[in-house]
Amino acid sequence: MSHIWLLLPVGFIIGFMGSMFGIGGGIFIVPILHFGFGVPLHQAVACSLLTVVASSMMSTMAKIQSGVINIRISKSLEIPSILGAIIGSNIIGALPIGVIKVMFSIVAAAMAFNMLKNPFKVLTGKKVNEPYYESKECSFADSYRDKATGKTVFYQAKNLKWAVPLSVFAGFLSSTLGVGGGVINVPLMTNVCKLPIKVASGTSSYKLGLTACAGALVYFRKGYVVEDVTVMVILGILAGAWLGINMLLKIKAFYVEVLFGLLMLSIALKMAVSL
């Protein structure tokens, strides 16, 4: 492949955005490889899933030290996600891609508007919804020190019974579109489970690696992995992920919510236009 070195800066930008928002970056990798570098779709998806695994490992190492990863919540949602990833990777080709894109566009747009509610309230002077918290005795209650504000943020997950089936859908999207599932995981944890945006991003980064690995193994077995392309993207992603992690921990949650909401809207529009 000519100009393969261009994948390094591309990987850097994707790694930065993926680690900062906890989305893995697959939503960008697949169209860039497929349309920009002519990589066949199934091979682009396989490369994307492997790079999501690498980005997840880098992000997890830093975020777990800062306390923004909730292992217990991740364990509760990981098995459904892996199940969805296995289902998706085995039926890819049988389900019309247009159907998946429609579902994804609708969910992404709805969650984007929900994500932007708090920033809109801040700008209009209305009361902002605080993270849900009832009792520290709850097994899904925890806290972390926010470096941007210097305050300790207490939170507690709720509505996990609704989050489980949605996690299956996130895993399914991960393996069929190569998006890592983070674009569903983060809004799911903030809107449904009522987690702070930084905890949702951190927990999603941790969770993505295992989910993407389940799908990647199937693609690897089928011979879809292109080694030179994958290695170049991963090298760029690792460098970008390191910068994205540091940015996430230092900026206020308000800006993370605004940027992520706008990102979700752009992704929803992109998917809708590609139908």
Q: Which tens digit of pLDDT belongs to each residue from 207-223? A: 877 777 877 887 788 88
pLDDT of residue 14: 82
Q: Is the pLDDT of residue 137 over 60?
A: no
Distance CA 246, CA 163 (A): 28
Contact 174, 181 (CB under 8 A): yes
- How far apart CA 84 and CA 270 sit, in angstroms, is 23
Local structure of 265: helix, strand or coil: helix
The single-letter code of the amino acid at 50 is L
pLDDT surpasses 70 at 180: no
What's the pLDDT tens digit per position in 102-134?
Answer: 776 776 787 677 778 777 766 766 655 555 455
pLDDT, tens digit, for every residue of 54-75? 878 877 777 777 788 888 888 8
Query: Is residue 115 a contact partner of residue 264, using CB atoms and an 8 Å limit?
Result: yes
What is each CA distance from 1 to 36, 38, 46, 131, 209, in whole angstroms?
12, 9, 17, 48, 27
Q: Which pLDDT score is estimated for 129? A: 55
48 vs 249, higher pLDDT: 48
pLDDT of 113 reads 78
As a whole number of angstroms, the distance between CA 251 and CA 40 comes to 38
144: number of Cβ within 10 Å: 21
Range 40-64 average pLDDT? 80
From 217, 158, 234, select the one nearest 189 (Cα to Cα).
158
Query: Which comes out higher in pLDDT, residue 125 or 250?
Result: 250
- C-alpha count within 13 angstroms, C-beta hemisphere, residue 100: 19
Reported confidence tier of residue 178, pLDDT bands at 50, 70, 90: low
Which pTM was predicted?
Answer: 0.73
Instruction: Give the strand pairing for 151-156 and 141-146.
Output: antiparallel
d(CA 231, CA 17): 19
Beta strand residue intervals within the chain, DSSP E: 141-146, 151-156
To the nearest whole number, what is the mean pLDDT of the chain?
78
Q: In which band, very low, low, confident or very high, does the pLDDT at 21 lie, cut at 50, 70 and 90?
A: confident
Angle between helices 41-66 and 227-250 (to 10 degrees): 30
Which one, of 252, 198, 207, 197, lies nearest residue 68 by Cα?
Answer: 198
Q: How many whole angstroms separate alpha carbon 51 and alpha carbon 56?
A: 8
The 3-state DSSP class for residue 171 equals helix
Q: Residue 136 — pLDDT band, cuts 50, 70, 90?
A: low
